[in-house]
């Protein structure tokens, strides 16, 4: 086996993704070598390829919703063997010593977790390259077991879109009878509906689009509120325990906060940036309401989520594409023209 492998990379912010050859490290004692079968297409991939966050190191090989089969393992690996179906999400390493790491919250590592792509390996100082490639080499600690019964290709987006929705619902203890609203119906939102329903909540979708009612019900919503309908929104004042806000751009939070019950929490999972327009503190103070944020999930919680999905028979709704279709898929992603996640069949890379 050669260490030179094929992938797809962006060479510059204005360049399409194109075939790219690079090397993976020789496996270390704790490494798992994975033949990648499927890779989900996350909006972050597009942001990073186009340098929307100003921190991209080129060439960048995106992809952090990775499902594959183990080819080989290092001598100290105990949990995996050749042939196992496994997953890798947004992170491939962390310091392992800080308080969040010790609590299984590697995503909040105070010494910066190592991202699956566009990162720098903590040991050899080399760039990390993601899942738009044939193979990946990842430390065992960051590899997940894909349970039998989960459709591997539909499981890929669980590793970013899925966990981003699952983790806050668990953190805020969503359970039987709780009233949960999900704002926005995209990759994150469609999983938020499924998870909240499976946890026993009474689920509402809040959307700009009246046409989404039937879809929302299919995905687990009991109610649908149209955000442009002020009367509908006002009638829902004080209703929700948790609002999972998946909208990726700045938007007025005040009407949503007013819909929280006493002690309710609005969790931002889709947007990173200034909140605008300003939030009136009165809406927080008068109901002891909170605005919070949440980022992906820790390794242990990701495994819990995969097992939860297998137990409840839920997965992502995906549209399969070939590697060569990636640039067209990005254009469709910009128009939210996907239900609800693109997944690349990585065998098409070998053509």
Which spans of this chain sit near Zn ion (rule: CB under 5 A)?
42, 44, 94-95, 98, 101, 109, 111, 160
What's the closest the beta carbon of residue 341 comes to Zn ion, in angstroms? 10
What's the closest the beta carbon of residue 111 comes to Zn ion, in angstroms? 5
Nearer to Zn ion, 61 or 224 (CB): 61
Q: Which two tokens stand for residue 106?
A: 């590697």
CB atoms within 10 A of CB 145: 14
CB-CB contact of 317 with 155 (8 Å): no
Distances (CA, A) of 336 to 61, 175, 297: 22, 30, 24
Q: Residues in the chain, how many?
A: 351
Distances (CA, A) of 14 to 51, 127, 234, 344: 9, 21, 44, 22
Nearer to Zn ion, 47 or 223 (CB): 47
What's the closest the beta carbon of residue 26 comes to Zn ion, in angstroms? 25
| Separation of alpha carbons 161 and 164, rounded Å | 5
Nearer to Zn ion, 185 or 269 (CB): 269
Q: Peptide bond preceding 63: is omega within 30 degrees of 0, i.e. cis?
A: no
What's the closest the beta carbon of residue 105 comes to Zn ion, in angstroms? 9
What's the closest the beta carbon of residue 161 comes to Zn ion, in angstroms? 7
Nearer to Zn ion, 22 or 108 (CB): 108
Nearer to Zn ion, 156 or 201 (CB): 156
What's the closest the beta carbon of residue 274 comes to Zn ion, in angstroms? 21
| Separation of alpha carbons 39 and 341, rounded Å | 10
Decide the pairing of beta strands 31-41 and 135-139.
antiparallel
Q: Which two tokens stand for residue 288?
A: 């002891």
């Amino acid at each position: 086996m050669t260490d030179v492998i094929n992938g797809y990379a962006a060479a510059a912010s204005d360049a399409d993704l194109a075939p790219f050859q690079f090397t993976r490290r020789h496996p270390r004692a704790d490494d798992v070598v994975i033949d990648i079968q499927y890779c989900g297409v996350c909006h972050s991939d597009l942001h990073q390829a186009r340098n929307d966050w100003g921190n991209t190191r080129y060439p960048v090989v995106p992809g952090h919703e990775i499902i594959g089969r183990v080819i080989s393992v290092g001598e100290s690996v105990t949990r995996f063997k050749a042939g196992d179906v496994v997953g890798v999400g947004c992170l491939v390493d962390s310091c392992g010593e800080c308080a969040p790491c010790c609590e299984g919250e590697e995503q909040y590592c105070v010494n910066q977790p190592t991202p699956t792509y566009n990162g720098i390996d903590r040991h050899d100082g080399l760039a990390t390259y993601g899942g738009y490639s044939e193979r990946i080499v990842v430390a065992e600690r960051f590899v997940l077991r894909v349970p039998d019964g989960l459709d591997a290709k539909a499981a890929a987006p669980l590793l970013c879109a899925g966990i981003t929705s699952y983790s806050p619902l668990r953190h805020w203890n969503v359970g039987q009878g709780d009233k949960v609203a999900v704002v926005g119906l995209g990759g994150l939102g469609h999983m938020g509906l499924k998870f909240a329903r499976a946890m026993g909540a009474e689920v509402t979708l809040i959307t700009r689009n009246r046409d989404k009612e039937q879809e929302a019900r299919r995905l687990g919503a009991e109610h649908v509120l149209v955000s442009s309908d002020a009367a509908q929104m006002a009638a829902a004042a004080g209703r929700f325990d948790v609002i999972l806000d998946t909208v990726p751009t700045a938007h007025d939070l005040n009407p949503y906060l007013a819909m929280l019950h006493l002690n309710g929490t609005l969790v931002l999972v889709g947007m990173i940036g200034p909140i605008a327009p300003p939030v009136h503190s009165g809406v927080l103070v008068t109901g002891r309401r909170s605005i919070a944020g949440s980022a992906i999930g820790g390794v242990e919680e990701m495994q819990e989520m995969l097992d939860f999905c297998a137990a409840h028979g839920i997965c992502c709704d995906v549209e399969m594409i070939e590697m060569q279709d990636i640039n067209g898929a990005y254009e469709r992603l910009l128009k939210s023209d996907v239900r609800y996640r693109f997944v690349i069949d990585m065998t098409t890379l070998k053509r």
